[in-house]
Structure 1
Amino acid sequence: MALSKKQVKQLRALANGINPMLWIGKSGVTEATLAQAAETLDAHELIKCVVQDGSPVDAREAGEELAGRLGADLVQVIGHRFVLYRHSSKDGVKQIQLIRQ
């Protein structure tokens, strides 16, 4: 799903107040990282991730790879951090109400 500029702005504002939930280390993006990201996205819809020093990928590469493989949207990349969004249909998850396009 392609996000509009207003939706990206809304998600960036929401991401400003959350702490990182996923760390990518010296192994880069692995199957375990993908599984953890998918589980976290199902539970929260919006996650902030950190690429640590010594990682073979930078934040943009890691964000684009995770977004592509998980069917998520890369909301923003700043320094070593990036934000992913994916709508969750799981019960009990507080859904983010996106602004209409």
Structure 2
Amino acid sequence: MTSKQRAYLKGLAMTMDPIFQIGKSSLTPELTAAVAEALEARELIKLNILKNCVDDGNELAAVLAERTHAQVVQVIGKKIVLYKEAKDEKKRKIVLPK
């Protein structure tokens, strides 16, 4: 992903609300499956890390991205933004700049 594409996705993510929260149980298989489903449906999602989660945001983002085959757009404090291009071209909502 180029820096231009990453900047574009960051701009889209600014107005989004987090759809998942990561708490003290950290990354469960259920959460990972739900994130994978959401990525397939939405392509771009934002997650919130709660204060009772002891894990580092960058590590959580890397593990989630690896498990869901997504890309980490950004991690700012307790917020994670992930992107995964839809497999079906008809379902693609986000067109990245070249």
Identity %: 37
- Residues 50 and 59 of structure 1 are in contact (CA less than 8 Å); yes or no, is this contact kept in structure 2? no
**What whole-Å deviation, never above 9, does each CA across 1:43-68 have from its counterpart, x for those lacking one?**
10000001111113122111110001
TM-score (norm 1): 0.90
RMSD: 1.4
- What are the ranges of 5 or more consecutive residues in structure 1 without an aligned counterpart? none
What does 1:10-89 align with in structure 2 at a 5 Å threshold? 10-89=8-87
Runs (5+) with no aligned partner, structure 2:
none
Counting matched residue pairs gives: 98
As a proportion of its length, which structure holds more helix?
Answer: 2
Distance in 1 (alpha carbons) for counterparts of 2:34 and 2:89: 19
C-alpha distance in 2, partners of 1:87/1:53?
30
CA distance in 1, matches of 2:89, 2:2: 26
Specify the code of the residue in structure 2 equivalent to 1:74: V
Read off the aligned partner of 1:99 and give its amino acid letter.
Answer: P
Q: Take 1:96 and 1:68, find their aligned partners in 2: how far apart are those partners? A: 21
